[in-house]
Amino acid sequence: MKVVLVDSGGANLGSVRYALERLGVAPVVSGDPAVISAADRVILPGVGAAAPGMARLRELDLVPTLRALDKPLLGICLGMQLLFESSEEGEVDCLGLLPGRVRRMRPAAGLRVPHMGWNRLAPCGDSPLLDGIPDGAQVYFVHGYAAPVDANTVASSEHGEAFSAVVQRGRVAGAQFHPERSAAFGARLLANFIQRGL
């Protein structure tokens, strides 16, 4: 099993790698299109803003590689947001692997944006990613933008309004939360992705 972490420049790259190593997986960190294309599983991590994130993928000439990938792909945090068609953050076109637009979260009474901290998952669709993760499982979020709940949402969460916490469409999936910082439930999602695919 060859697992590749896309070297997208995100600050969570190291922590995702360590989380996989704790599961007994030795991922390859690469920005090489050939290495990524040859992987059995690909993870696109990311922390930061959408425009610089997409600029980094273009700089490495990875946009066509990720769009053409025929193996399971998991985006984490910003990596999930880059899977969509576009983002309000920087008004940037993204990878277009999932339909929809990522939007800025709106502050609400007693709730701050960015959304930082532990929050509950509400499963709302079928996905092997969620095997063994119960309704109400607490996971760790850090984000100010989010994808709306739609037909590809397999788990939602709420911060003022509902948003997509886990999405999947065919071989493409994403987690808005940080599985590498979400204790046992985050480790379970990563293990499900590695062991079962999509």
Task: Give the residue numbers marked as catalytic.
Answer: 77, 178, 180
Count CB neighbours of 187 within 10 A.
Answer: 16
As a whole number of angstroms, the distance between CA 51 and CA 90 comes to: 6
In this structure, are residues 170 and 73 in contact, taking their beta carbons and an 8 Å threshold? no
Measure the CA–CA gap between 70 and 109, rounded to whole angstroms. Answer: 44
- d(CA 72, CA 173) in angstroms, rounded, equals 8
Neighbours of 110 (CB within 10 A): 6
Phi and psi at residue 146, to the nearest 5°: -155, 155
